[in-house]
């Protein structure tokens, strides 16, 4: 058994801040800045809307590949090498897209940027969760994800603030320049964490006492797949839906993304707190219900009310789904921490690619975008059902002890 280690509030804040900064860099300035940039790059003539959608798909595909790499290299010793390496990849690929209008080069660069995002999005929180568990502070792990909400807000501000004096490839400069000092500081701070590779047996091989896929983790994986497919539809198409439903010049044309960003910032703190107070599994059921209501609102009340409710309720919940699911998985399989985390992010990444593809099939078959949101409602309902089949970690471990 590990000995509990003590830590100071300053040290705790420093580690959580470093993790949050890393997620802000790769997820906010890497991935999600593309959503507000997209219409500007199309207007500048850098590419057409369908070409830009293909660029986004390459980025999502890279994210999936990155999460798969993180399943393979999940030990603390691996993470120490890969985190700074992939932060460097993020910075280089972001600098590269400031220099080219070539579609193939942009797509390749965004794919590689997605790989870096996938690896870091798994490994930084997983490393910090392991460090917190040793200090009996696992309940604070969700606070790392505040970086994603801040990243949405910062990316939105950078794009709008520089819109009038940058154009084409040059629009990427603010993201590239801000990434450099943040990436350097985050990598330095996390490189100093005291953690060993644990679970080594007498022969030096890693001992994994529980399988990755079993009766406890399967319903959790299925619930998470439903969540990934359910949330990605509004997170990809909400601004487009606003454009279809509202008149030109309406404040919500840019406002939907701002509402999502503002509701995302307190979300990590809120769901972290609710999970600690109610228990992670009851909190996850509530999370799915609220998120489902948000996507359903866009279907039932097209226009202002539906758009505002969808932006607020999905923005306020999707990070909660991530942090609660990761923590339940870690509690069910303590020996599988980073590997389980990576497997879940890979699954989430896969369903995020399926969402836009299914929407395209639906639209090609003559469906409307608002009815395509029904796919999201169905996916979240599917996910919610499986949350009820996830065993409580304490009951699950008691059962295996009795079986032994």
Of the pLDDT bands very low, low, confident and very high (cuts 50, 70, 90), residue 364 is confident
Q: What is the pTM of this model?
A: 0.82
Q: Is 210 helix (H, G, I), strand (E, B) or coil?
A: coil
CB-side neighbour CA atoms (13 Å) of 59: 25
pLDDT reported for residue 204? 42
- Paired tokens of 40: 């500007």
Asked if residue 154 lies in contact with residue 29, where contact means CB atoms within 8 angstroms, the answer is yes
CA-based R_g, the chain, Å: 21
Across the chain, what does the average pLDDT equal? Answer: 87
Quick: pLDDT tens for 320-344.
Answer: 998 899 889 888 888 777 778 788 8
Would the pLDDT of 208 be above 80? Answer: no
Asked if residue 151 lies in contact with residue 32, where contact means CB atoms within 8 angstroms, the answer is yes
Q: How far apart are CA 36 and CA 378, in angstroms?
A: 27
- Paired tokens of 139: 């309940």
Among the residues of 25-102, which ranges form H helices? 34-43, 49-72, 76-96
Would the pLDDT of 388 be above 60? Answer: yes
Q: Helix, strand, coil shares of the chain as percentages rounded to 5? A: 80, 0, 20
Would the pLDDT of 111 be above 90? Answer: yes
Asked if residue 21 lies in contact with residue 143, where contact means CB atoms within 8 angstroms, the answer is no
Quick: pLDDT tens for 278-335.
Answer: 999 999 999 999 999 999 999 999 999 999 999 999 999 999 998 899 889 888 888 7
Asked if residue 262 lies in contact with residue 313, where contact means CB atoms within 8 angstroms, the answer is no
Quick: pLDDT tens for 8-64.
Answer: 889 899 999 999 999 999 999 998 888 888 878 888 988 887 788 778 889 989 999
Of the pLDDT bands very low, low, confident and very high (cuts 50, 70, 90), residue 403 is low
Q: What angle do CA 167, 85, 155 make, to 5 degrees?
A: 30
Q: Which of 46-60, 118-132, 159-173, 375-389 has the lowest mean pLDDT?
A: 46-60
Quick: pLDDT tens for 50-105.
Answer: 788 778 889 989 999 998 898 888 788 888 899 999 999 999 999 999 999 999 99
CA 284 from chain centre, in angstroms, equals 16
Between 95 and 370, residue with greater pLDDT: 95
Residue 197 DSSP symbol: -
Q: How many other CB atoms are there within 10 angstroms of residue 255's CB atom?
A: 17
């Amino acid at each position: 058994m590990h000995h509990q280690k003590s830590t100071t509030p300053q040290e705790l804040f420093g580690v959580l801040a470093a993790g949050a900064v890393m997620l802000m860099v790769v997820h906010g300035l890497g991935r999600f800045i593309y959503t507000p940039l997209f219409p500007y790059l199309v207007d500048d003539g850098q590419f057409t809307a369908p070409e830009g959608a293909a660029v986004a798909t390459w980025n999502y595909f890279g994210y999936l590949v990155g999460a798969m790499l993180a399943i393979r290299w999940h030990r603390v010793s691996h993470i120490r090498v890969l985190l700074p390496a992939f932060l460097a990849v993020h910075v280089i690929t972001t600098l590269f897209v400031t220099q080219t209008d070539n579609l193939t080069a942009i797509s390749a660069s965004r794919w590689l940027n997605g790989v870096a995002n996938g690896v870091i999005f798994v490994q930084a929180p997983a490393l910090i969760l392991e460090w917190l568990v040793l200090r009996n502070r696992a309940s604070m792990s969700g606070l790392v994800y505040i970086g994603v909400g801040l990243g949405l807000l910062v990316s939105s501000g950078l794009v709008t603030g520089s819109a009038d004096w940058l154009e084409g490839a040059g629009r990427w400069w603010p993201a590239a320049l801000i990434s450099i000092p943040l990436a350097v500081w985050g990598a330095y701070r996390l490189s100093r964490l005291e953690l060993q590779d644990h679970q080594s047996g007498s022969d030096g091989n890693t001992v994994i006492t529980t399988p990755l896929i079993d009766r406890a983790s399967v319903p959790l994986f299925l619930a998470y797949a439903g969540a990934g497919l359910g949330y990605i539809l509004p997170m990809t198409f909400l601004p487009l839906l606003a454009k279809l439903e509202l008149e030109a010049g309406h404040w919500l044309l840019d406002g939907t993304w701002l509402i999502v960003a503002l509701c995302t910032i307190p979300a990590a703190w809120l769901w972290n707190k609710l999970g600690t107070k109610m228990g992670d599994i009851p909190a996850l059921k509530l999370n799915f219900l609220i998120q489902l209501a948000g996507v359903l609102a866009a279907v039932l009340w097209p226009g202002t009310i539906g758009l505002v409710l969808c932006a607020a309720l999905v923005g306020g919940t999707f990070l909660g789904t991530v942090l609660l699911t990761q923590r339940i998985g870690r509690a069910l399989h303590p020996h599988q921490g980073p590997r389980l985390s990576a497997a879940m992010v890979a699954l989430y990444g896969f369903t995020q690619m399926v969402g836009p593809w299914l929407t395209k099939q639906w639209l090609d078959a003559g469906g409307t975008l608002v009815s395509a949101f029904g796919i999201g409602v169905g996916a979240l309902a599917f996910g919610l059902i499986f949350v009820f089949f996830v065993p409580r970690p304490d009951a699950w471990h008691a059962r295996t002890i009795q079986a032994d």
